[in-house]
Structure 1
Amino acid sequence: MNILLAEDDKRLGKLMTHLLKNEFHLVNWVKNGKEAYELARFSEYDIIILDWMLPGETGLSVCKRLRDKGIHSGILFVTAKDSNHDIITGLDSGADDYIVKPFEFNELLARIRAISRRKEKPVEELITIGDFVLNLNTHELFRQNHLIELTKKEYQLLELLMRNQNQVMTREVLFEKLWGYDSEVSDNALDALVKLVRKKIDVPGFPSFIQNVRGIGYKVRNTYV
């Protein structure tokens, strides 16, 4: 799933981002309410995780404004506020669920799954481009019904590109989503990852499924063999 995490606690935000990515989710992590609101307005997220007390604009305010704009993404509050009044206020603002700090990560995952099941628009399960079919639930790639074995990072790269098949994904965006801004991974890691994926999925005699857009980033071909 594509997840927006708004959490100003750097330690917790980094940990949650790492754990969510380990579960094959795509994660954008922001640290203030204004950025969370802007990203949620103009990008499509399956789940938005909001800390209540964000700097600049509270999670409560962000939630209300997003619902007023007709944003239907699942919204989960993560907060230390645990009174019945606070819980009712959060849910009445438009949130789908509420989890109180500290919490077990498995509980967070369970609540994310529950929200995705309840939404009117189910999370898309398959992305098909030409002969390729990417299963978002099982994290598997098939070509003409044949399974192509992928590592976690290889799958995440393909999901990012195939979800955004009509646009170029910049190197900066891909790197941030796959490794994070503060990662110590080399700048060449993205090119090396693309090379590994191409070796597994490309068909001899045909252009690569993953196109290199010089000076910008990568995209996938809308049609392929």
Structure 2
Amino acid sequence: MRAYVFEPREKRRASLQAELENVGLQPLFVGEEFFETGLAPLSQPGSEHRAILIGESASTHKQIRAVRASGCENPLIVMRDFRNSTDTAAALDRGADDVIVSPIKGSEVFSRINSIVRRFHGHAAESVSVGEVTAYFDGRDPVVSGARIRLSKREHSIFQHLALNSNKVISKNAIYDAVYGMSADQPFDKVIDVYICKLRKKIAAAAQSGAQYIETIHGRGYKLSAPEETDIQPLEPMRPSMAVEARLS
């Protein structure tokens, strides 16, 4: 998960970067100009998960207004040095999603961003169930037919994007941008097809029905949804000779 971070005090950036990276966040530190010229890309599909973290300064409220005036709906969290109920209320009224107080802990930031993102997509709970698949929004691997399946970092990023938008068609470009949008080493877009194929195989192998849960919508993208019952092929019972061979293998 990526985050734009405005921290005006340079001496605090190293410790903040370490905290965020320790929980899997990828911070990109920005300056004042970001709020004037850098917000446009955040309106593109696939960018809505990128958080904006604003360190306390005299420009905080102006920056919040700029973000929301640009049409950006990304998670926006203000990082304050001390508790101040009046200033916190003003920040929330101007469009901030949350306010946290120092010392800033990466695990708290990560959980608060996750909470904002899943509510943005209409998920109040920590997980969503799609047929035999249970997807978690807190970093845990999914469970399929009661068994946890292990996903790589990239597989997990793509799967979570599909899960947040379950039963909706998500374009390849949106998935690509959500996973690689701020990466310095962006691969060819065919890599999304490769990871989708891997995810399909892992889910089908764990599902009791053997069903495919990630559908390709030609010309539009992909959709995570429970297959229709008519599309599920029942597993063929093993013949006696096959059962004996299985015990011997």
> Structure 2 length as normaliser, TM-score?
0.56
Query: 1:60 touches 1:93 (CA, 8 Å); kept in 2?
Result: yes
Structure 1 gaps, min length 5: none
Which secondary structure does the structure 2 equivalent of 1:202 belong to?
Answer: helix
Residue 157 of structure 1 aligns to a residue whose secondary structure is helix
Aligned position for 1:156: 157
Name which of 208, 211, 218 aligns with 2:222. 218
Structure ID, larger Rg: 2
Instruction: Give the partner amino acid of 1:213.
Output: I
Structure 1, 203-212 or 129-138: larger mean CA deviation: 203-212
Per-residue deviation, 1:116? 7.3
Report the Cα distance in structure 1 between the residues aligned to 2:68 and 2:186, rounded to whole angstroms: 38
Gaps of 5+ in 2: 8-12, 233-249
Say whether the 8 Å CA contact 2:4–2:51 is kept in structure 1. no
Within 5 Å, which residues of 2 pair with 1:20-169?
Answer: 23=23, 31-32=34-35, 35=39, 39=43, 49-50=53-54, 58-62=62-66, 75-78=76-79, 89=87, 91-94=89-92, 95=96, 96-98=98-100, 107-113=105-111, 124-137=125-138, 139-169=140-170
Question: What is the correspondence of 1:175-214 to structure 2 with a 5 Å cutoff?
Answer: 175-187=176-188, 188-202=190-204, 208-214=212-218
Tell me by how many angstroms 1:161 deviates.
0.6
Q: Supply the distance in 2 between the matched residues of 1:152 and 1:78 (Cα, whole angstroms).
A: 28
Q: Are the counterparts in 2 of residues 161 and 220 from structure 1 also a CA contact under 8 Å?
A: yes
Once the two structures are TM-superposed, the CA of residue 184 in structure 1 deviates from its matched residue by 2.2
CA deviation vs aligned residue, 1:113-139 (integer Å, no higher than 9, x gap): 46878xxx7952111000111122351
Task: For 2:153 and 2:113, locate their aligned partners in 1 and report how far apart those are by CA, in whole Å.
Answer: 24
What is the Cα deviation at residue 164 of structure 1? 0.5
The amino acid across from 2:221 in the alignment is G
Per-residue CA deviation, residues 168-193 of structure 1 (Å, 9 max, x unaligned), is 11111111111225542322211111
* Identical pairs, percent: 17
Of 121-130 and 151-160, deviating more is 121-130
Aligned length: 199
Cα distance change, pair 24–222 in 1 and its aligned pair in 2 (3 A) = farther
Q: Assess if the C-alpha contact under 8 Å between 2:172 and 2:222 holds in 1.
A: yes
Alpha-carbon contact 1:47-1:112 (below 8 Å) kept: no
CA contact (8 A) 1:157 1:178 kept: yes
Provide Cα deviations, 1:93-131, integer angstroms capped at 9, x if missing partner: 21432568xx87xx24434546878xxx79521110001
- What whole-Å deviation, never above 9, does each CA across 1:28-87 have from its counterpart, x for those lacking one? x99447948x85xxx98696534678x9x9323257879xxxx9x9742258xx6999x9
The change in CA–CA distance for 1:132 and 1:215 in structure 2 (over 3 A counts) is same
Distance change (3 Å), C-alpha of 1:25 and 1:93: same
Q: 1:182 to 1:23 in 2, by over 3 A?
A: same
* TM-score (norm: length of structure 1): 0.60
Structure 1 residues 52 and 167: CA distance shift in structure 2, 3 A: farther
